[in-house]
Chain A
Amino acid sequence: MISDLTQRISHLKYLKFYLISTLFGLLALLPLLIRGPFYSHILVMIFLHAAAAASWNLIGGYAGQLSLGHAAFYGIGAYTSTLLFVQWGISPWLGMLAGGGVAALVAGLVSFPCFKLRGPFFTLATIAFGEVVRILAIYFRELTRGAIGITIPFRPGIENLMFHGKMAYCYFALVTMMTVFFVSFLIERSRFGYYLVALRGDEDAAQALGVNTTMCKLMAMMLSAFFTAICGTFAAQYVLFIEPISEFSIDRSILFALISIIGGIGTAAGPIIGSFILTPLQEFLRAWLGGQYQGLHIFIYGCILIAVVMLLPEGVIIWMRAIGRRIVPPIRSRG
């Protein structure tokens, strides 16, 4: 009967819980185990990219609305907190929230009329949006210092979100990543999450079941923009230099999507897996090939993307799940 089945499910849940806790425990130890500025730097970037990709995943993966303009929110986060800090000495902690708020607001206003566009047309609109933000950021020089960029003065201290050495940055990046992970995890199991996945599957059918698809998309978009902006703030505090061309670049937007797709689009852990695969690749290539590597790592990304789409569209996480299933016994259905 039903109670038998639910008992099995809850056993399974406990087992899964312990397994995943162990994995995360290991993750938490990584910043301590990995030493040396180069490797620590890679770890920071892995966590940061994972967090940003996971933020993208909320709207791009779960809701299936492919945005290729998310760098706009990343940049808005970076610029808001940086300008507040550099001009008025406001702590990046507050700046982070302010940036998230601005990004969410912009996301809501701009995306709302675009939701009637389906599929690739929505994507095209997001590309256009991302580019508009980039051009405006360069143009409004008085506000953003234009293409020259802004350097953030190094004043270490937790209130300024700046530290000596990389380990603290590692942990903060890790915490950010885990936050977005947990948000995704919770959403997945909630009514909101089911609604998002449903509207991705078939929007008309979802509406027929009482789903206000426009409102759902809007919430997902605003949430996604909020977290993406926070990642932007963090990145600014780490690199201590921002300029419009790289903060708002479409390459960055594509990277967020890429990481999620390769790892497993629409899953909580996918972006993390994807980042562990792609980020070290980029950083190592940069180190080994120096200036000559220009273009090579993205070329490889492109090839990986093509391979994933054709062979493993649900992402690498499918392999992980298969391995996981060997370890954990499968549920037997009733009857």
Chain B
Amino acid sequence: MVDLMTIGQIALNGLLLGGIYALISIGLTIIFGVIRVINFAHGEFLMLSMYASFWLFQILGIDPYLSILIIIPIFFIAGWLTQRAFIQPILKGPALMQIFITVGISLAMMNGALFLWKADYRSVTPSYAAITFKMGNFLIGLPRLVAFLSSIVIVLILYLFLKKTHLGRAIRAVAQDREAALLMGINMRRIYLIAFGIGTACVGVAGPLLLPIYPVFPTVGTYFVLIAFVVVVLGGMGNMTGAFIGGLIIGLIEAFSGFFITPQLQSLVYFVIFILLLLLKPSGLMGVVGAEEIGMK
């Protein structure tokens, strides 16, 4: 049978990875919470940030972790522009169209990448990729540890930003009650732009953190965005803390299901959890913003 030590190791791996899932999901949940749009292209932004980090390493020799400094502003702007050019004009229209435009962006990005860079798996192996630490009887890989710690740092920064700064409070106001925010004179358009920018920047950070651990290929985004959706619904749409905790939980589930269930059925676990959540408890663990959109009266 499986001993306690192995279980502990699996749990540890799960938690570490969960940190990254949290980071990816937080971006998605912010975008939904503030703008009420489900960004089907979120995974493709992750894929692009992984490729960006890859090419920066290949061509310019920039370490993935350093590339984060370049990628954050670029992806913030990319998110800003996406909101400005594509989402904002159709926000007033039917939700149908909002879904389709992000699906369109997703298709274009994914297949653009496929066309330009082919389907080959690419990975980087910086010098430190193989370093592992020993903590008690457990092994911790350096890349996973860095990813986890960085995620926590980013989440904390975001948390402080939203709680303490004026802009952050404005963003939270819009997420909580749009009409009230409008009446208070908050510039909704600007908030939307910033929110999309932040959401995309989050996913931009996640890319380089993931690269030493996972290979990149054009459809890698779909795998992670699916996890992100499950996390976001689990933690409650629009709820940052929920996304964080949800990310850790899903990380654990992934680690354990990877161990106990045949790899073919591993994704099945997510889908089933996802469907069950949507049907039985769409508000997730921590309650939901925008319940009407989901269909709760």
Q: Which residues of A contact B (CB under 8 A)?
A: 64, 66, 68, 113-114, 116-125, 128-129, 131-132, 135-136, 138-139, 254, 257, 261, 265, 293-299, 301-306, 309-310, 313
Contact = CB atoms under 8 A, between A and B. Distances in A.
B119 A313 contact: no
9 contacts: A121-B295, A125-B275, A125-B279, A128-B275, A136-B268, A139-B265, A261-B100, A295-B110, A302-B108
Nearest to A126: B275
Contact of B99 (A120, A294, A303): A120
Nearest to A120: B38
Contacts, number: 131
B275 A302 contact: no
Contact of B100 (A117, A293, A305): A305
Contacts of B110: 295, 298
Interface of B: 38, 86, 89-90, 93-101, 103-115, 118-119, 218, 226, 229, 233, 264-265, 267-268, 271-272, 274-275, 278-279, 282, 292-295
Contacts of B118: 294
A295 B112 CA distance: 6
Contacts of A120: 38, 95, 98-99, 293
A100 B89 CA distance: 40
B253 to A, nearest CB: 15
B287 to A, nearest CB: 16
A117 B267 contact: no
A295 B90 contact: no
Nearest to B38: A120
A36 B149 CA distance: 62
Contacts of B274: 124-125, 128
Contacts of B295: 116-118, 121-122
Given A120-B38, A295-B113, A302 B100 contact: no
B278 A124 contact: yes
Contact of A118 (B114, B119, B265, B293): B293
B155 to A, nearest CB: 24
Contacts of A122: 295
A313 B97 contact: yes
Contact of B114 (A68, A132, A294, A305): A294
Q: Decide if the interface of chain A is mainly helix, strand, loop or mixed.
A: helix
Contacts of B271: 128-129, 131-132, 135
Contacts of A131: 226, 267, 271
Q: Which of B99, B119, B292 has the most CB of A within 10 A?
A: B99
Contacts of A299: 107-108, 111-112, 114-115
Given A120-B38, A254-B103, A294-B114, A309 B265 contact: no
Given A295-B115, A313-B93, A302 B105 contact: yes
Contacts of B282: 117, 121
B104 A302 contact: yes
Nearest to B295: A118
Nearest to B268: A135
Contacts of B94: 64
Contact of B278 (A64, A121, A297, A302): A121
